[in-house]
Structure 1
Amino acid sequence: MKKSILVLTAAAGLLFASCQNFKKAEGGLEYKFLKDNGGEKAVGGDILAMDLIVATDRDSVLANTYDLGMSQIAPVIPDSLMQGGYPGDNNTMLKMLGEGDSAIFRLNLDTMAAKTGQPKPEFADKYIQFTIKVKKVFKKGNLTDSALFDQVNKYYLAEIESLKKSEEGKISSYVEKNKLSPKKTASGLQYVIKEEGTGANPVVGDTVVINYTGGLTNGKIFDTSDPEVAKKNSIFHPMKPYEALRVRVGHTPVIAGWTEGLQLLKKGGKATLIIPSALGYGERQQQNSIPAYAPLIFDVEVVDIIAGPKEEPNPLAPPVGQGAPVIEGAPTVK
């Protein structure tokens, strides 16, 4: 786990700043400090914890640590260990920053292609923009790698614990803001029936055909079966089949909140499911869209219920919602 968090990845979320007042550095790198705290800058071997937004010059956000509520952990690679690096690359940016600093960098894609031999990405024209705010610098100094990583790991675990503690408040704020009066099950699942529907509720073995939209308590949408909703929220994928999803209750490996929630609905029913992380993805962050310990909000419409054999789930199969294989289009636990 220590190795996995010491990786500089794309993250994003802020709008592009004005193109004025940018300075030039080596390799075509452009930069503008939003705040220079005046402290010591990072050097090779140090590790940064930072808020990070990465976007293209086409105003497309690639990733955003603010959405995840977690710092990006980024090592500054010593020159002696650099392979494929060049002046003006990601590592150059990190060496220009110290604790408390914030800045905007524009990475020149022509230079990157020329220096690395890799083709320019098709999703940008001239540059990729990084908006960085450094929260903490872990100085390598004379520390052993083990001692340094221990400091980083404690910081990381403290942020995870903060997310865990904030979950109940996120749910309460969402319910209050949207003026909801949800019912709550023994498991902690909350739900609001918007349309009752008709007929019997599905049981284990039945197939429920649903339209759905999934989001976070802050309103950010991360998945949907509706192509128009996907386009509106900039999550549309041309290769994804946007259509009603079939979930065989107790068999299709979806999160536990779905397995329980779908059995509360009838054909034609519509509901909002407020799923605590214990019935969702728990401490597992899902790519760049779902933070750890994130409560999930699903708007669900039951299109049809297809009766199936009422056998018990296969006891040898992976428990539903707990490490089961991924089904395309379904909110599974990975």
Structure 2
Amino acid sequence: MKKPIYFLLPLFAAFALGAHAQSEMKHTPNGALYQIFTGNAGDKIKQNDVITFNFIQKTDKDSILFSTYKAGRPVQAQIQPSQNVGDLMEVFPLLAAKDSALVKVPTDSVFKGHEEARPPFFPKGSYLTFILKIEKVQSLTDAIAEKTAAAQKLKDGEVAAANSYVAANKINAVTTVSGLKYFVTTPSIKRKPLAGDTVLVNYTGKLLGGKVFDSSVEADAKSAGLEQPGRKYEPISVVLGQGQVIPGWDEGLLLLNEGSKATFIIPPSLAYGEKGAGQDIPPYSTLLFNVELVKVKPTKHAPVAKKTGIKSPAKKRVYRKTPASKKTN
């Protein structure tokens, strides 16, 4: 949930009162200017701590470049020794949980050695301004435990949601060993592809809740209000078994015949997992794909030896010890 606008007012008020004169601000060893607006009791942030914080990033002319409040969620960082003036690692250890501060980073230091990357809104002598608020401070152990618990909760929720979707829609899906669920909606008796073959596929992808996030079919895209400027609505070309697509596709397309249509219900482990993909696919999302295997373009495969009924003579087994340095897991 986004922070209400009144939450930002104390920060801006402090900025107006405290930043009117840079001469009153303190300096870090690497040249950043800072002013702490609050002085909350509690331990200061330590090396290796994980902090959760909100920030507003601005130019000298108060143009907002980025805001975690607008993005809708804070960010996390592990405290490490400072590598450059812009990483703020000199300032964080001066703060405690719930502290807020103003930090001004000299852009001359940020772009030193690569002036060609300096944008026009950061002229020489200017500053990159941060308004920070530390929301939470955790030890690394506690942060990892919290992240693991949250991840497991998301995983369990997605498994339950996928099972509920199948039951609610009375889907008679086949479940593979990997966890992929699929059901064929339009069967075909044409050839099946093999790993290494190129296939042409039409598809529409959506989340369990029904939100369409991608489609190669113009009618589906328009029906869902999906904006894909410059997109050519035509089957996409995929070489199977080469990792060009998510594992759920690589596995599922090998199960279909040319000309068939099917729906894949792909668990997070066979899709985008804990990272998700962009703004449209959250972490640990189960994905639904309506696919059509339009065409199979076979490649040359090694011939399969025919069984002749004649047994080959037994070969002597040779046992060789593998040096410890060459053992593989």
Structure 2 residue 229 is the aligned partner of structure 1 residue 238? yes
Structure 2 residue 173 is the aligned partner of structure 1 residue 182? yes
Structure 2 residue 192 is the aligned partner of structure 1 residue 201? yes
CA deviation string 1:79-108 (max 9, x = no partner): 242559xxxxxxxxxxxxxxxxxxxxxxxx
Normalising by structure 1, report the TM-score.
Answer: 0.52
Using the TM superposition, give the Cα deviation of residue 240 of structure 1 relative to its aligned residue in structure 2, in angstroms: 2.9
Normalising by structure 2, report the TM-score.
Answer: 0.53
Q: CA RMSD in A?
A: 4.0
Distance 1:240 1:148, change over 3 A: farther
Say which one has the larger Rg: 2
Instruction: Write the distance in 2 (CA, Å) between the matches of 1:42 and 1:213.
Output: 53
Q: For 1:146-295, list aligned pairs within 5 A.
A: 147=138, 151-251=142-242, 253-295=244-286
Q: Does the 8 A contact of 2:11 with 2:100 survive in 1? A: no
Instruction: Write the distance in 2 (CA, Å) between the matches of 1:173 and 1:195.
Output: 24
Unaligned runs of 5+ in 2: 14-37, 46-50, 55-69, 78-97, 107-119, 123-133, 304-329
Corresponding residue for residue 81 of structure 1: 103
AA aligned to 2:248 is: G
Q: Matched residues, percent identical?
A: 30
Corresponding residue for residue 27 of structure 2: none
Corresponding residue for residue 314 of structure 2: none
CA deviation string 1:157-190 (max 9, x = no partner): 3221211222220110110122211011222211
AA aligned to 1:227 is: E
Instruction: Write the distance in 2 (CA, Å) between the matches of 1:25 and 1:291.
Output: 31
SS of residue paired to 2:238: strand
Using the TM superposition, give the Cα deviation of residue 25 of structure 1 relative to its aligned residue in structure 2, in angstroms: 5.4
Q: Does the 8 A contact of 2:192 with 2:254 survive in 1? A: yes
Instruction: Write the distance in 2 (CA, Å) between the matches of 1:244 and 1:218.
Output: 25
SS of residue paired to 2:250: helix
Instruction: Give the count of matched residue pairs.
Output: 211
Q: For 1:1-334, list aligned pairs within 5 A.
A: 47=52, 72-73=74-75, 78-82=100-104, 137-138=135-136, 147=138, 151-251=142-242, 253-310=244-301
SS of residue paired to 1:208: strand
Instruction: Write the distance in 1 (CA, Å) between the matches of 2:157 and 2:251.
Output: 24
SS of residue paired to 1:79: strand
The 10-residue stretch of structure 1 (279-288 or 174-183) with the greater mean CA deviation from structure 2: 279-288
Unaligned runs of 5+ in 1: 1-10, 30-40, 50-62, 66-70, 85-115, 119-135, 141-146, 313-334
CA deviation string 1:13-38 (max 9, x = no partner): xxxx9xxx999959999xxxxxxxxx
Corresponding residue for residue 3 of structure 1: none
Using the TM superposition, give the Cα deviation of residue 155 of structure 1 relative to its aligned residue in structure 2, in angstroms: 3.2
Distance 1:72 1:165, change over 3 A: farther
SS of residue paired to 2:183: strand
Distance 1:160 1:226, change over 3 A: same
Using the TM superposition, give the Cα deviation of residue 150 of structure 1 relative to its aligned residue in structure 2, in angstroms: 5.3
Q: Does the 8 A contact of 2:182 with 2:264 survive in 1? A: yes
SS of residue paired to 2:157: helix
